[in-house]
Chain A
Amino acid sequence: MEYGQKIHIGGIKFSEELAQVTVGCKTTDDCTIHQLLHLLAERDINLTFLCHAGLSGNIESIFCIDRADLGKVQQILIRSSLPNEQVQIIPSIGTLTLFPHRNEMKLLGLVIGLFGKHGFPVHSFSTSISAIAFNTDYSLLDEITERLQDIFVLPENHAPFRQDFRVTQIQL
């Protein structure tokens, strides 16, 4: 890539408004991600994002949920007896998902740098073979995308960044 040349990417997608929950523990005896995930699943709470680091000395589990489910999640956390200092909640998050063009992943550093340069918060992110999901402030999604287009080129027929509707299973 030549200096200053924009990169073609496959697309960008915004999530709905979410909340991010971080649960930190010093040992696996303090808490377990397994129990927490099970409690969330029992209450039909969907995780839209998850990352976990269980390396020695510091165990962190970070997940995102629909903003509307935050109350239920807080109840679960209280009942799990996790000390308050082990839980961090960011109540208004948006996931900005980037789809690299033809699986070209050499853009991660550019995006991280852009966020840092403009002071956009990066609360968490994770990559996959086809996507990079950044969690940032929900209110900044449009502004961030404008800045991203300083370094990226989107397809001409790109879909709206926001999902038009959502389907939910109900019990009759």
Chain B
Amino acid sequence: MYKEERVKVYAITEKNHLALASLRFPAKDIEIWGLRVIDLEDCVQRFELVTYHAADKKNTELHLLIDGNKANNFSDRITAWIQNDSDTVFSLRQPVDVLYLFGPHFQDRFGIADTAFNALGQNGIDIFVSGCAGTSIYFVTPENRGRDGVTILTNTFLIPTTK
């Protein structure tokens, strides 16, 4: 573990015109939702980001970021599954942007999340959902804020370049 004066990352990029699906369901239903996620994966071919965590003692939250062009079919499938399920809450937020940071060995260096969250927060960029796995960090932002976020983070982190 080590600290850097200015944190290095490999790249910072963004994607636009995405949709964020958020589900809140009883934790006991996770196996059913695993089967449904298989079906949803077939629907969208690829998730941009998925995060999952406990919401309270009984319920969990699942957030799925997808191509906005596939949101209608995606949403229709979920709505059909839960139409008689009063324990599950589903919402779709569209369009949204996403920022990605890719970097070497994020888990071996201090202060990366602090640097990123505070840079975005101090510049008024709301973060709907964020996830970090491996060497990537993702921030889902309101529409049209992705480009601002890239500029802010590019000025905050050091991206080594070769000439």
| Alpha-carbon gap, A129 to B119, bound state (A) | 23
State how many residues of chain B have any CB contact under 8 Å with chain A.
Answer: 60
Q: Does A83 contact B (CB under 8 A)?
A: no
User: Closest Cβ of chain B: how far from A121's Cβ, in Å?
Assistant: 9
Bitwise, B43-70 to A at CB < 8 A (1) or not (0) is 0001101111111100011010000000
| Alpha-carbon gap, A152 to B3, bound state (A) | 37
Q: Does A161 contact B (CB under 8 A)?
A: no
Among A113, A130, A167, A169, the one with the most B-chain Cβ atoms within 10 Å of its Cβ is A113
| Alpha-carbon gap, A46 to B109, bound state (A) | 7
Partner pick for A122 among B1, B52, B56, CB 8 A cutoff? B52
B46 engages A105 (CB within 8 Å):
yes
B54 engages A123 (CB within 8 Å):
yes
B residues in contact with A6, CB < 8 Å: none
| Alpha-carbon gap, A60 to B102, bound state (A) | 23
B127 engages A52 (CB within 8 Å):
yes
A110 engages B133 (CB within 8 Å):
no
Q: Does B104 contact A (CB under 8 A)?
A: no
Majority secondary structure of chain A interface residues (helix, strand, loop or mixed): mixed
Partner pick for B118 among A34, A108, A115, A116, CB 8 A cutoff? A34
Q: Does A140 contact B (CB under 8 A)?
A: no
User: Closest Cβ of chain A: how far from B97's Cβ, in Å?
Assistant: 15
Q: Does B143 contact A (CB under 8 A)?
A: no
A residues in contact with B61, CB < 8 Å: 53, 60
Q: Does B129 contact A (CB under 8 A)?
A: yes
| Alpha-carbon gap, A123 to B130, bound state (A) | 16
Q: Does A138 contact B (CB under 8 A)?
A: no
Q: Which B93-141 residues have a C-beta within 8 angstroms of A? A: 93, 100, 102, 107-115, 117-118, 121-122, 126-138
User: Closest Cβ of chain A: how far from B12's Cβ, in Å?
Assistant: 14
B40 engages A109 (CB within 8 Å):
yes
Majority secondary structure of chain B interface residues (helix, strand, loop or mixed): mixed
Q: How large is the interface on A (under 10, 10 to 19, 20 to 34, 35 or more residues)?
A: 35 or more
Q: Does A139 contact B (CB under 8 A)?
A: no
Given A50-B130, A55-B22: A126 touches B34 (CB 8 Å cut-off): no
A residues in contact with B126, CB < 8 Å: 54
Partner pick for A128 among B42, B111, B131, CB 8 A cutoff? B131
Q: Does A33 contact B (CB under 8 A)?
A: yes
B residues in contact with A109, CB < 8 Å: 34-41
| Alpha-carbon gap, A126 to B138, bound state (A) | 10
A residues in contact with B30, CB < 8 Å: 112, 115-116, 122
| Alpha-carbon gap, A109 to B33, bound state (A) | 8
A58 engages B133 (CB within 8 Å):
no
Closest 5 pairs (CB-CB, A-B): A116-B31, A113-B34, A109-B38, A112-B34, A109-B37
List chain B positions with a Cβ less than 8 A from chain A: 1-3, 22, 30-42, 46-47, 49-56, 60-61, 63, 91, 93, 100, 102, 107-115, 117-118, 121-122, 126-138
List chain A positions with a Cβ less than 8 A from chain B: 22, 24, 32-34, 37-38, 40-41, 44-55, 58, 60, 62-63, 88, 97, 99, 105-106, 108-117, 122-133, 167-169
